[in-house]
Amino acid sequence: MTGETDLSPARLRHARFAIAAVFCAHGAVTGSFATRIPWIQEHAQLSAGTLGLALAFPALGAALAMPLAGRVNHRFGARAALRALLALWTLSLILPSLAPNLPALCFALFVYGATSGMSDVAMNALGVETENRLGRSVMSSLHGMWSVGALLGSAAGTVAAHAGADARLHHLIAALALTAAGLVAVRGVLDLRSDQEAGAPPHFALPPKSALLIGAIGFCAVFAEGASLDWSAVYLRDVLDTNAGLAAASTTAFALTMAVARLAGDRVVDRFGAVRTVRAGGVLATAGGLIVVSVREPAAAMAGFGLIGLGIAVVVPLAFAAAARSGPAPAQAIAGVATITYTSGLIAPSAIGAVADATSLVVSFGLVTLLAFALVVGAAVLRQTPAAPGASAVNRDETAGIRP
């Protein structure tokens, strides 16, 4: 990557804060949407099964669009690509609440997923480049800022739901505010460009065999995250018969624990190592899932969702680091694992809806609990191995301080 020549410590610190703000804005869109899913379901007159079908369309949109993000970055440069893709994502928040029926909602969520996936790839790629130039790990804190954004968005959504506000107005105001904030933040990120002589990147990068198990661990964690974000409010409303405001607050509790755990994640991993951190997290997430499916008190269920968030928070950053040292092609491994994990998060809501329609939401979160337990069993795949010969500086930096 080439681009701006001012890489002074002050400039790099500014760039780090700017990309952190981008992550925060991206997360706020997700939080804003998740808390109003019950309103959208009722507005479009959908059952749990048809809602689950609609929530499959973000996964389809992302799967088709994510591979294009690399080419957009390559052609226009990291800053310009991120500016456009982030604005499309924040503005897409307006669409789902406008949908009056299932076909319209499916189309809206297809666009929502496509813009989410492309902007996600662009900001993570720029985050890695920023980390490389800083010479130390910042990805965990960047993901923490995404969770902070999801928390802020869900908190605002909780207030709006409690007040009985129309989600169309709520999402219009939120989308315009987040678009403005995102455009301001992007001005401070690094202005990097790919080497045009190297040729455009491939449309899709399959993960090497060495990264498949790592991707499976990331899949379990992100599935639990996506299911909890999109269905916790519906679970409290339909299973525990709570009001809309309290149901939306469950999403806020989940986002809060995710944010705290990710912001503190680097220190925990440095002290206990990747394997023990993920194994302990899996125990916490499993306990949280058992609480959710076994209790009938809203406060206890909210605590259960919080434990799920606490347990899975640091898994994805550690999966990326493990992928980087899993074989001779770190970049290909990271790209493949990212595709598996992020697609998992977009598939999870529809899968939960399909299981709920066939059985119940309690059974759906029993599945989430089983996947959380898989983190306990499979944590060893994140054990540190020697870095691949010729690994880049960023890949070496990603593994620094992580021990088994």
* Across 197-210, average pLDDT: 59
Mention every residue, 6+ apart, whose C-beta is less than 8 A from residue 255.
Answer: 31, 147, 150, 151, 153, 154, 229, 309
Identify the band that residue 207 occupies on the pLDDT scale cut at 50, 70 and 90: low
Q: What confidence score (pLDDT) does residue 324 get? A: 61
Specify the pairing of strand 2-3 against strand 192-193.
Answer: antiparallel
Does the pLDDT value for residue 211 go beyond 60? Answer: yes
- For residue range 306-344, list pLDDT tens digits in order: 999 999 998 987 887 677 666 655 555 666 777 788 778
Which of 40-44, 217-221, 250-254, 304-308 bottoms out in mean pLDDT, i.e. has the lowest? 250-254
* Range in 79-88, 120-129, 154-163, 278-287 the model is least confident about: 120-129
| Higher-confidence position of 363 and 256 | 363
Q: How many helices (H) and strands (E) does the chain have?
A: 18, 2
Decide if pLDDT at 356 tops 50. yes
Tell me what the mean pLDDT of segment 140-156 comes to.
87
Token output for 153: 């968005």
Mean pLDDT of 169-189: 96
Instruction: Identify the sign of the CA torsion 60, 62, 66, 68.
Output: positive
What is d(CA 262, CA 333) in angstroms, rounded to the nearest whole number?
Answer: 23
With a threshold of 0.85, does the pTM exceed it?
Answer: no
Handedness of CA 279, 280, 285, 286 (dihedral sign): positive
What's the whole-number mean pLDDT along residues 271-280? 89
Closest CA to 120 of 151, 152, 146: 146
Angle at 253 between CA 61 and CA 24, to 5 degrees: 50
Between 180 and 164, the more confident residue is 180
pLDDT (0 to 100) of residue 363: 95
Farthest CA pair distance, the chain: 61
Sign of CA dihedral 111, 113, 119, 122: negative
